Structure 1
Amino acid sequence: MTQQLNWLPHGLRRTPDDDEGRDVVGGEGDGGADDDAPGAGGPPLTLGMANGAVRVSDELSASLVQETRSVARRDPALAEFAHDWAASVFLTSYVAMTRQDTEDLLSRFAHRLEAALRREPFSPEEGRRIGAAMIGAHFTDSTTLENTLRVLGTRLRPCLSPPPHLSEREVATRLIALSSALAAGYAAALQDHVLRQQEDLKVSMMLERQRSDAMLKESDARFRTAVEGCATGVATLDVRARVQTANSALAELFATGGSELVGRDILTMVHPEDLPSAAEHLTALSAGECDRFRSAMRFLIDGEQPVWTRVTGSLIRDKQGMPDQIVMFVEDCTQSFLNQEMVRRQLMVDPLTGLANRSVLVSQMEAVLGSLRPDGRLALCYFGLDGFRLINDGLGYDVGDEVLRKVAGRLAAEVASTGELVARISADEFVVLIPDTRGTAPVVERVEVLLAALTEPMRVCDRDVSVSVSVGVVERSAAEVGPLELIRAGDLTLRAAKDDGRAQWALYDPDRDQIGHRRSRLAATMPAALRAHEFYLDFQPVMRLADGRLTSVRAVARWDHSEFGLLSQDDFVGLAAEAGQVVDYGRWLLRQACEQAQRWRRGLGSTPTVSVALVDRQVRDQDLVRDVRTILDETGLPPASLRLEVPAVAAFTDTGEPLDTWSILAELGVRLVVGELGSMGRLLSRLRLLPVEAVLVSGVPARDPNEGSDAVDQFALRSMVAMFRRLGPAVIASDVDDAAQARRLRTMGCELAYGEFFGPPSDPMGIEELVAAGSLVRGTER
């Protein structure tokens, strides 16, 4: 009883003290959840039902209404979905509910569907119960089911927040199962509803035949009227399965007149694939071995067009109990079947191009891998359109969509008779799977043919459009690769083809794959590593060339990776930028450096200036000034003890004007060092517009000519240093390896330097030893 109460439509209540059962109507404004609450008093109103009535307690009715409202408040997305669902089914059937009552009911159903999707182990049974409940709410028109399946297929998925352990494919599979179960439950409940009508008719027939001859004609007339007006097809058959009578609904279903059906063997109209099962059911009825059967059955209209139906057959016996007639109810389920197929197709086929989507591709790859012999091989060709965004932005998205359709059509035409599979895997990327390959050479030849077909000019929206295509080719042994690994390798190889110049193909390189996999692993684990304190700082001394004394230190990050060992910042700073972690990483680096400098200041009474290198993305972060000010305030470090190293190009706007960030930081007292000067070009002279304390140059050109130094590079370095000396900033040289190089740099005019000659990056204790030894230049401490 409790389980049935859960599925009462909003406004119906069931009370247990009536054996027959009556439906009780309640609502917010008329004897509903508020008016009929416990203690409110007053008898509930009743609503008569075709098969009796059901009553329920006022307390339960109020809880149902409250649950519906709480669901809407808890999940606005599902409430909006329920609103759309109600809009699509309201007025499709005669239901004694208001629009709001309908929406409240469907809101509960939507919540149940989401709960079923999340439930482990998963079962689609909830969908079946919802379908049956819709019949219980009198949504019995076929349009209701059609609209429901369409809304479920198009609107439910975006409103759901599935648990993270479910893949998109698993979510799609569960949605299909729930939709199918809902349709099945709906059809079964409707069939039961019709069956109850059938049973009533059968009982009436048997009772009327036992009555007087005078009442027989009247009873027969009523029966025929009921059958003729039934929306479900009804036919009476003799025990040899020949049609004796057929109502207009059945005649309409078979697209013929009722008289033309009379005398025909019903089995001659059954689809050949369903004929054995249908014959078995009818034979059992005719022999009296059973009294009823239910079965899904396809009929052929005009011998060609299939119609999907649900058939219920009942046996009528004569006075001696022998089989006399068969009454068959035929419910048209064609639209329901087509709706299910439409939902399935939407979940498995790319809607723009009609190609298989990623889910189908993975399934097909699993099948291919399972069918190949142990030493079999296969190839995946990962196609990517070069610069496709330019087509969308320059010619419009309608042109871009048509280009994608034409590319898909050309690929499909090329593989149509080859046994290969083509799928669209992302916006402008396609995959061709070639099973049972014989090495790389034939695959490359095949790729060349496909590339030639794709790069032919195409006529799109009254204009000629040409595309260039890059391809990543992966040819592997089936025993050593899985579907997802193969797709990942293809994607990586495609990126390599694009990086190498585009409009070409590239072969899978295991070494490059290993490097790419390592980079991906590092990028993916960086956020967790920051939280787990796997990063730490070393500090490299910056010395004055005149006397070799300490002036400042540069913060150098290290990553103690559990898998790849100790990594220098050159190994992961670029990855941080690619993975969108550079701002968080830079904020951590800045805070750690300032905290250490303040610890030196408190413990030693003085601290060298600390330099922190920023990357382009961090320099342009709008919160940089706020972060610097906050960290300095929280650590207590004087602003003059912090030096920020920035790439020269990042110090200016796109129009060549200095960023306002630097003047604000200079007003705070923070020092600025500009590096990577070789990328500035014509902007080099604009350094005078910045509040620059020093510039950073590479000391490599000052090395011994016998070790690879170039005289031209030395001249360029000497000229650059002289120019900076005239502009005012101090010059800091990097990569100083020996005393001779240091002397040359000093002769050129460099004032400060760092490198292996002055000491590699060391832990904070090593810097403390330098400061304690008196190496710190007086006037540089803070």
Structure 2
Amino acid sequence: MEHHMEHVYGTYDMVLVIFSYIVAVVASYTVLDLVGRISTTGGLRRLIWLIFGAVAMGMGVWSMHFVGMLAFTPSVPVAYDLIIVALSMVVVIVASLIALSIVGRTELSLKQLLSGGLLLASGISAMHYIGMAAMQIDITYKPYYFILSIVIAIVASITALWLSFYFRSGNLRDIMWKKALSALIMGAAVAGMHYTGMMASEFHLGDKSSKMVGVLLDQKFLAYVIAAITLITLGFSLFSIYISNRFSSKESEMLAGEKWYRSLFENNKDGIITVNLQSQIIGFNQAMSKLTGLPNEWFHSQSIIEVTRFIVEEERERTREMFLKSLGGEMQSYETAITHRNGHRVDLSVINVPVEVNGQVVGNYIIARDITEEKIGKEKIQHQAFHDELTGMPNRRMFNQVLARKIESKSGRFAVLVIDIDRFKIINDSLGHTYGDLFLQEVSRRLVQKLAGSKVTLARMGGDEFTVICDGCYDHREIAGIAEQIIKVIASPYRLKDNDFFVTASIGIAIHPEDGEDAVQLLKNADTAMYEVKKNGKNGYHFYSSELNEQLQQKIELESDLRRAITGDQLFLHYQPQIRAGDSQMIGIEALVRWKHPTKGIISPAAFIPIAEETGMIFELGSYVLREACRQMKEWHEAGGPLIPISVNLSSQQFHQPDLIVFIKNILEESGLEPHYLELEITESMMMDATVSSGILNELTDFGVRISLDDFGTGYSSLSYLKLLPIHKLKIDRSFIRDIAENTNDRAIVATIISMAQHLSMDVVAEGIETKEQLDILTDYDCKKIQGYYYSKPLPADEVEDSFFIPLRALSTSNKAD
């Protein structure tokens, strides 16, 4: 029997349509939030959130669908099959559960997104069309709208799940707004799917409607109830999510904070131990294990008291006191040291930080840093600050500290010795600074070795000056004994540049408190005593006395006066002839400087030449002598001669000045004197380094200047330079001539010098001849050239001219006339 199918038409309640859209929007927002929640949890909590999320999501979508269906009012009453209605709800909840479990993870692949979206779309579509089947009315579907509704469901599901994944991280305020906007779009898509599906439906009165067995519902009332219940449910869902987010945020912050703390704790280069009030170790880091050499297992449940066994004994008690103070709530910072498990010492900088909870100290952080290298560095700097870099001896700073402490302690009588190395400047100038340093290192080594075990403080003050503080336990005689030991040990030869060099020491001694109650006065008086030794021939020691102070004042006065003398007209020259013994003819003349002081009269060169050398005035003094001597000799040559050379003494400082050759050439050009009439007298000490000396002497000789070796036989250097250097004349020192008549040794030395000079084709001049007996002995030894008081003392220029030059000129004129 064919049934007539009558079309059923209906109208929509727009208020319920809007309600359905609101339900869809709220449900969408819930979905967006839930996926983020599920992805950040695990275990049972994840399962609970999955179920909760699936129910909320399914109920939301189902509610929207059912409200949408109830918003449609057909022209005939329609009953619903409640079992099928319930089935549609279950289908969407299950689909939501599966979809959320797929996409609710930290990483989301395209495959997972598509599969989750398709499952959710299938669930939504199935829910919609199963829900439609619950209506007790015949329904047919328009294929085009039916397919479109399915496509909309798929797109809406995939978009919803992707957006929920995309918005799970970032700034909280921004995420909320983005989720709200996305929920509005997704709500429209979900509602669009439903109403597209409704558009695909055509209702008919037929078999199904005639067999109405379902429940007839008051559509409007039921729609509002469902909408209200759904909104309340979703509201509770959102509220619970919000509360959970708050707790989760706090929990995340705490977790993040703990991770930061753990990272700082574990990766800190400083060793850290956490100790509770019972002194039990409840935490430690790897750095502490490395610092102590103890394995990690050792620290577990160990008492801090066990760790203190590794603290060095002298620091143990103080470290324990610091720890106890920190348990009292007071932070402590201090230095200590432990013995590493391998046996070496480790110096530590330690901070004890009390840990407080609710105002109560519950434990302690012990933070330890290895400062071993830092301490070694500080000690090295400290050592360098108080020790001489060249010799390693205490320096001036340490000496001053020791001396100041000794004076302040009121310990009574003690001695200060000032040691100056005689002739060091000659070694330094001639051999160079490298050998000068080697020499000073050897002197230091000898002094340290000799004074080892004595109650003294030895220091190098700088240059060749050393000081010694002798303890008060030594009396006057014992202090003198120490000075003698120093002089003896310094006097031993020094091997430098394959030659032996000899030096001496001059030592000045001042006694505290009689020679000075403060450091400045003590050192000043010791210096005064030392200079007295130098003045009296060096190589000795002298105790300070008040008379020495007067002499020092005189010397200071003399130095000041000498500066004025050099710039004024107080200096002048005397000339001492050199005579040929056979015919008493003058064969040369030596220029000797003199000083006429305005109040003290004529001052001996022996008094002012050493001052000039010490103060550097020797350059100006030497320049004056050389210039005046050359000028005078040129004047005598132009007045008729005789044409003989003039000898000028050259000091060691002048000899080693860098522009000596240029300086001499300029003076000769200025005076007009020919170079071969200038004879420069040098001493053996200038020959110490033949390589330096030979260059200077060869240049002077090439220019035409003659070289004479003064005071021959009194130096300490090797004779080998005689064959290497261009020396034209030897002068036998007066010390050998003085006792030549009585002393056979002096006679032997003089005879040897004369013979050696002749074999080396050198001229030889004996100086200091005062008696006929001395002259006869020298003549017998074939020494024909003489200089001394026997013939003439040094004379002013006019007396030399009257006594020697004028008679020689007259004799020369007479010989020419004959």
TM-score (norm 2): 0.43
Q: Considering only CA atoms, is the larger Rg found in Structure 1 or Structure 2?
A: 2
TM-score, length basis structure 1 = 0.44
Work out which structure has the larger RCO, using CA pairs closer than 8 Å and 6 or more positions apart in sequence.
Answer: 2
Task: Identify the structure with the greater helix proportion.
Answer: 2
